[in-house]
A and B are shown apart, each in its own frame.
Chain A
Amino acid sequence: MLTYIARRLLIIVPMAIGISFLIYLALDLSPGDAVTRMLNPVQTVDPERIEELRRALGLDAPLVVRYWIWFSGVLQGNFGRTLTGGVPISRILMERLPATLELSVVALVLSSIFGAILGTVSALKRGSATDNILTVAGMIGVSIPEFFFGLVAILVFAINLGWLPVGGRLLPSYTTYWDHIPNLVMPALVLSIMMTAGVMRYARSAMLDTLSKEFIKTARSKGLPEWRVNLLHGFRVALTPVVVLIGFRLPILIGGSVIVEQVFQWPGLGHLFVLSVRNKDLPTVMTIALLSVILVLVVSLIIDVLTAIIDPRVRLGGE
């Protein structure tokens, strides 16, 4: 197992480098650059001044050279500075990352727990009213986009009922960590709706599939009580595919939070990402994209290891 993990980690390195180059290339090909953004569109500027500015920012060098400058900086933890404001990107990341992680982790935990429980209940009571209601709710949850839920939630709970704040995360008046929990409730719930629905539908079918297996009949033939047949013999086996699904949703959760963070003005990475794209702040966009890529790669490794731990039939790397 350890050699497998080591080997996988080694493969991640060239993959991350390759992808980082592709990101750099793609953004370089997009029309305009940082300088065109910095200029005031109303005033006409001397083209020579523009060229000067380009040289000053190092934008006139060939693509590979510019990539190398950026990438060697990244390796040393220096992501550059934002083009709008000139703040070190690493500092912004440190501010934004906790907000996104907080939102994502809460949503992930909520949706995994509720999705697995509801899916199991649905499977155990298949054909019943509960099952039908949950199935319809699941379809709605999967098919309606998050921003819609977000806007409805704001309208109902923040504006009409006034129970929760409209958006934002930290206010100057907040002194303890717990003060901003009301701000977290709506974005976390909205973010977890779609994923809960997905996990639930998946857990239901995995559970139904498992319950139809022969070993469930064997378990029952041993005289075990129903809860043990269903939860120990059934759920334990159905868990493997569900864990894989949840794991692969983790990066999507960060992507999904782009929309939710926007709706609730949550100062996380997703919010920053949209802002940076709009301002054509390429160094920031690249950094966030690169982070997401590395996250996906690491998560897929973690999932492989996890499945090997839960399912004894899985042997990693053909051991």
Chain B
Amino acid sequence: MSDVALSVRNLKTYFYTNQRCNKAVNGVSFDIKKGKTLCVVGESGCGKSVTAAAIMQLLPRLSRIEEGSITYHSERGDIHIEKLERNGKPMRSIRGAEISMIFQDPMTALNPVFTIGFQIAENLRYHTRLRGHRLAVQVVELLRTMGIPLPERRINEYPHQFSGGMRQRAMIAMAMACNPKILIADEPTTALDVTIQAQIFELMTALKKEHGTAIMLITHDMGVVAELADDVAVMYMGNIIETGSVDDVLRRPIHPYTRALLASMPVLGRGKNQSIEAIPGSTPDPFDRPKGCQFAPRCPHRVAACEQMPEETFATPTHRVTCWRYEEFAADAA
């Protein structure tokens, strides 16, 4: 277990709105490994971001972790994050220092009325003993590492004076300030240009290599997955329906949903006439879920057994899938 930074087991997170319960995350298990990137993919609303928020204990007020465990394997021993008080001191000392997060839209994720330097320094001020001049030097150094030109001048600028890509770099500088063990990136490049996107990913990969940071990258871009992931988890309606190494999941996908997801993407170089298969139907209403397998109503391979929820099963030691017919599909995938 020593190479695992964080393990999540059977995590259930429910939202309570208008006296109804939305089982946003309904029993997910996965590991984030040290120095590796885990990509979590899935459609909007499948529970990716909620899972990330649960790990950080940053869930909205009307939601809570219902069941399961989130174990952070720190240097001081295992810490059960799900048992920590949301904004209590132990949780806060982990947040931003050992597990940190970057968000989707750097335009809104930085506070408009404080300088970039102040916002980065805040992180260091709360988690390290750096003060005064040495603190300022460290902030400049961080921005320089993130590839921001003239950092001495830019620390005194406000977020609106930064371009989108620069803001995301500043966000990463903030997240990486205390050399966290785990970095959670919630669609960090969705709001950026494609060229900037590549730069940001390059930066994240470099940081991963240099510091051995474990990365959990939430995305819905399969291209990004192919590029960056070591492991992949595919989520659908609050469950991980398939997970494994990137080779397993992208080259030998078993679950019909994963296959449909891959088939729905255009591939560069195949010309204009390639058929892009949209997934039929739409995601079910979270308050009116199918009884068994959540994907069954949209699945072309549905059988009677799909009325029951299948167990998570290991197709190979590294490849786990939640489907009744996994053996047949695994055979034809190989």
A contact residues vs B (CB 8 Å cutoff): 213-215, 217-226, 233, 236-237, 240, 310-313
Judging by beta carbons under 8 Å apart, are A214 and B58 in contact? no
Judging by beta carbons under 8 Å apart, are B97 and A223 in contact? yes
Q: Which residues of B contact A221 (CB under 8 A)?
A: 56, 58, 95-96, 100-101, 103, 175
Judging by beta carbons under 8 Å apart, are A217 and B103 in contact? yes
Q: Which residues of B contact A213 (CB under 8 A)?
A: 108
Complex formed: what's the CA distance from A6 to B171 in Å?
39
Complex formed: what's the CA distance from A222 to B110 in Å?
12
Q: Which residues of A contact B175 (CB under 8 A)?
A: 221
Q: Which residues of A contact B1 (CB under 8 A)?
A: none
Judging by beta carbons under 8 Å apart, are A312 and B95 in contact? no
Q: Which residues of A contact B93 (CB under 8 A)?
A: 223
B120 CB, min distance to chain A CBs, angstroms:
9
Judging by beta carbons under 8 Å apart, are A222 and B105 in contact? no
Judging by beta carbons under 8 Å apart, are B158 and A312 in contact? yes
Judging by beta carbons under 8 Å apart, are B158 and A313 in contact? yes
Known contacts A213-B108, A223-B126, A237-B112: A218-B103 contact under CB 8 Å: yes
Cβ < 8 Å to A, chain B residues 48-82: 56, 58
B15 CB, min distance to chain A CBs, angstroms:
16
Closest 4 CB pairs of A and B: A223-B96, A222-B96, A223-B95, A214-B108
Judging by beta carbons under 8 Å apart, are B126 and A214 in contact? no
Judging by beta carbons under 8 Å apart, are B113 and A217 in contact? no
Q: Is B174 an interface residue (CB 8 A)?
A: yes
Judging by beta carbons under 8 Å apart, are A236 and B126 in contact? no
B213 CB, min distance to chain A CBs, angstroms:
16
Q: Which residues of B contact A217 (CB under 8 A)?
A: 58, 103, 109
Judging by beta carbons under 8 Å apart, are A214 and B109 in contact? yes
Judging by beta carbons under 8 Å apart, are B111 and A215 in contact? yes
Complex formed: what's the CA distance from A224 to B87 in Å?
9
- Specify the chain B residue showing the minimal Cβ separation from A225: B92
Judging by beta carbons under 8 Å apart, are A312 and B96 in contact? no
Complex formed: what's the CA distance from A313 to B58 in Å?
28
Q: Is B122 an interface residue (CB 8 A)?
A: yes
Q: Which residues of B contact A224 (CB under 8 A)?
A: 92, 96, 122, 126
**Would you mind naming 23 contact pairs between A and B with Cβ atoms under 8 Å apart?**
A214-B103, A214-B108, A215-B108, A218-B111, A219-B122, A220-B87, A220-B95, A221-B95, A222-B174, A223-B91, A223-B92, A223-B94, A224-B122, A224-B126, A225-B92, A233-B111, A237-B111, A237-B112, A240-B113, A311-B112, A312-B158, A313-B113, A313-B160
B117 CB, min distance to chain A CBs, angstroms:
13
Judging by beta carbons under 8 Å apart, are B95 and A222 in contact? yes
Judging by beta carbons under 8 Å apart, are B126 and A222 in contact? yes
A17 CB, min distance to chain B CBs, angstroms:
38
A233 CB, min distance to chain B CBs, angstroms:
5
B164 CB, min distance to chain A CBs, angstroms:
14
Complex formed: what's the CA distance from A219 to B160 in Å?
17
- Specify the chain A residue showing the minimal Cβ separation from B92: A223
For the complex with contacts A214-B105, A236-B113, A236-B114, 12 further pairs of A-B residues with Cβ separation under 8 Å are: A215-B112, A217-B109, A219-B111, A222-B95, A222-B122, A222-B126, A223-B126, A224-B96, A233-B114, A312-B112, A312-B113, A312-B160
Q: Is B127 an interface residue (CB 8 A)?
A: yes
- Specify the chain B residue showing the minimal Cβ separation from A127: B61
Complex formed: what's the CA distance from A313 to B115 in Å?
11
Complex formed: what's the CA distance from A238 to B233 in Å?
40
Q: Which residues of B contact A219 (CB under 8 A)?
A: 111, 122
Interface string of B168-183 (1 = CB under 8 A from A): 0001001100000000
Cβ < 8 Å to A, chain B residues 125-142: 126-127
Complex formed: what's the CA distance from A183 to B92 in Å?
51
Q: Is B123 an interface residue (CB 8 A)?
A: yes
- Specify the chain B residue showing the minimal Cβ separation from A217: B58
Q: Which residues of B contact A233 (CB under 8 A)?
A: 111, 114
Known contacts A223-B126, A312-B158, A312-B160: A218-B113 contact under CB 8 Å: no
Complex formed: what's the CA distance from A237 to B111 in Å?
8
Q: Which residues of A contact B96 (CB under 8 A)?
A: 221-224
Q: Which residues of A contact B97 (CB under 8 A)?
A: 223
Q: Which residues of A contact B92 (CB under 8 A)?
A: 223-225
Which one, A215, A220, A237, A312, contacts B58 given CB within 8 A?
A: A220
B28 CB, min distance to chain A CBs, angstroms:
21
A227 CB, min distance to chain B CBs, angstroms:
10
Complex formed: what's the CA distance from A233 to B110 in Å?
10
Complex formed: what's the CA distance from A214 to B168 in Å?
14
Known contacts A217-B58, A217-B103, A312-B160: A222-B112 contact under CB 8 Å: no
- Specify the chain A residue showing the minimal Cβ separation from B94: A223
B85 CB, min distance to chain A CBs, angstroms:
11
- Specify the chain B residue showing the minimal Cβ separation from A310: B113
Judging by beta carbons under 8 Å apart, are A237 and B123 in contact? no
Judging by beta carbons under 8 Å apart, are A226 and B110 in contact? no
Cβ < 8 Å to A, chain B residues 15-72: 56, 58
Complex formed: what's the CA distance from A308 to B122 in Å?
24
Q: Which residues of A contact B108 (CB under 8 A)?
A: 213-215
Interface string of B203-241 (1 = CB under 8 A from A): 000000000000000000000000000000000000000
Q: Which residues of B contact A240 (CB under 8 A)?
A: 113
Q: Which residues of B contact A236 (CB under 8 A)?
A: 113-114
